[in-house]
Structure formats: structure tokens, C-alpha cells
């Protein structure tokens, strides 16, 4: 009798495990792959249409890789435009369980970005704000583990000063259009690269050969 009860219990446990494996796990995987298909189709459709100062595809891929590799979850983008870089960042955040706040001052670009985020299937991962980043970056409480600076270049150093206290150790501040070739690293953006290089609690470098993305990682406390 006891042996029979043990067999019934073992079968019930097996059934529960089977339901967990075949019922819930595949559903989560299905959702992720359905989103991947939707995002890829949208990026493919838009490939030659990004024309509002948007990052090139290679830099979008770099942003995606940085977020995913470091498992970042609390992201801020300064300068949405119509949403190309935001889509790459939010796509990575959809896999880490994170969310992006992105700021744009121009209303028509902001509205176009909202439509793009919806069409890509990523709207739930993005909080898009229509605002002047000079003010809003100061006001946002953070913390952030990833910040992408891509608005008015002359303000880059000010954005860095405003976000650094809100950046978590191990976090990354990335900045676009940093050109080693033209007028040194600092040309046109108030000496941004040199400013970041001189901060001893950051490791700053270019993200990759031929990219214009500077990345500064906040060192972890020892």
C-alpha cells in the first residue's frame, strides 16, 4: 500500500515537472523569439530609411552588445531623434528585463519615435519623454547602469557631470560622435573625451575600431 502511494506521488511530481517544462518555459521562449522576429523585420524595413541624424547600424549593434553583455537594466538615452539607437538599446533590455528612458526635445521626432517603438514591438520597454535634456537629466533621480549621450554635443560634459553621480559602479556612459580624427578627441564637444579620460574612477576608450562611440565604465569599488 505504502509502495503504491510512493509510486502515485512520484508520477504526480513527474507530471508537474513536465507541465513546468513544456507549459511555461516554451511560452517565454516563444515570446522572446516572436519579439526578435518583429524587431529584426522592422530594422530590415528601416535599414536605408534612418535619416534623422541616427546612429549607423554598426553603432546600434555595439550599444545592443554592451547592454546585453553587462546585463544592464536601467538605461537612459539623451537624444532620441526618431528612435534608431533607442530600438537597439531597448531590444537588449527586453532580454535583460530592463527599461529605457529616452529624451527628445523636438516634438515631431518624439512622435515619430513613439510610432517606431510601437511598430518594433518594444514600446513596453521604453519611457520616451518629450523634454529639454539640459533640465530633465538633472532632475531624473536614477540610478542608471547605462547612459547613451547623443544630443547636443556642446553639452556632453555637462550631461556627464549630471549623470555620473547617478551611474552605478560597473555602469557605462557611452557618447556618440567622438572623432579621434577631427580636431582630436575633444573637438566640438567641449573636450568630452579628455574630460572622461581624466576621471580616475572611469576607464574610457573607443568602443571599437572605426566606431565613433566612446565608452566610459565606472570602476567598481574594491
Segment near ligand SAM (CB under 6 A); pick from 16-24, 36-44, 150-158, 191-199:
150-158
Segment near ligand SAM (CB under 6 A); pick from 32-40, 79-87, 163-171, 193-201:
79-87
Binding string to ligand SAM for residues 21 to 60, with x set by CB under 6 A, is what?
--------------------------------xxx-----
What's the CA gap between 34 and 218, in Å, rounded? 34
Answer for which of 101, 150, 189, 196 binds ligand SAM (CB under 6 A) is 150
Smallest distance, ligand SAM to C-beta of residue 115, A = 14
Note the Cα 49 to chain centre separation in Å: 21
Answer for which of 30, 124, 127, 132 binds ligand SAM (CB under 6 A) is 132
Say whether residue 212 binds ligand SAM (CB under 6 A).
Answer: no
Q: Name all contacts of 65-70 with Cβ < 8 Å and 24+ positions apart.
A: 65/92, 66/92, 66/146, 66/172, 66/174, 66/207, 66/215, 67/92, 67/93, 67/96, 67/98, 67/146, 68/92, 68/95, 68/96, 70/145, 70/146, 70/170, 70/172
Longest dimension (CA), the chain: 86
Chain contacts with ligand SAM (rule: CB under 6 A): 53-55, 79, 81, 83-85, 103-106, 109, 132-134, 150-152
Amino acid at each position: 500500500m505504502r509502495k503504491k502511494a510512493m509510486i502515485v506521488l512520484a508520477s504526480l511530481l513527474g507530471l508537474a515537472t513536465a507541465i513546468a517544462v513544456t507549459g511555461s518555459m516554451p511560452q517565454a521562449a516563444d515570446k522572446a523569439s516572436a519579439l526578435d522576429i518583429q524587431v529584426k523585420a522592422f530594422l530590415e524595413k528601416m535599414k536605408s530609411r534612418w535619416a534623422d541624424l541616427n546612429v549607423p547600424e554598426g553603432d546600434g549593434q555595439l550599444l545592443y552588445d554592451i547592454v546585453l553583455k553587462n546585463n544592464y537594466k536601467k538605461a537612459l538615452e539623451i537624444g532620441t531623434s526618431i528612435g534608431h539607437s533607442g530600438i537597439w538599446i531597448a531590444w537588449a533590455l527586453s532580454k535583460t528585463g530592463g527599461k529605457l528612458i529616452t529624451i527628445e526635445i523636438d516634438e515631431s521626432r518624439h512622435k515619430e519615435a513613439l510610432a517606431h517603438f510601437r511598430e518594433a514591438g518594444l514600446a513596453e520597454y521604453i519611457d520616451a519623454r518629450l523634454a529639454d535634456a539640459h533640465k530633465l537629466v538633472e532632475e531624473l533621480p536614477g540610478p542608471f547602469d547605462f547612459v547613451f549621450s547623443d544630443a547636443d554635443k556642446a553639452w556632453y560634459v555637462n550631461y556627464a557631470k549630471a549623470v555620473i553621480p547617478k551611474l552605478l559602479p560597473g555602469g557605462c556612459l557611452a557618447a556618440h560622435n567622438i572623432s579621434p580624427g577631427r580636431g582630436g578627441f575633444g573637438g566640438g564637444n567641449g573636450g568630452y573625451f579628455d574630460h572622461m579620460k581624466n576621471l580616475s574612477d572611469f576607464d574610457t576608450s573607443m568602443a571599437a575600431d572605426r566606431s565613433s562611440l566612446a565608452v566610459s565604465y565606472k570602476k567598481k569599488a574594491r
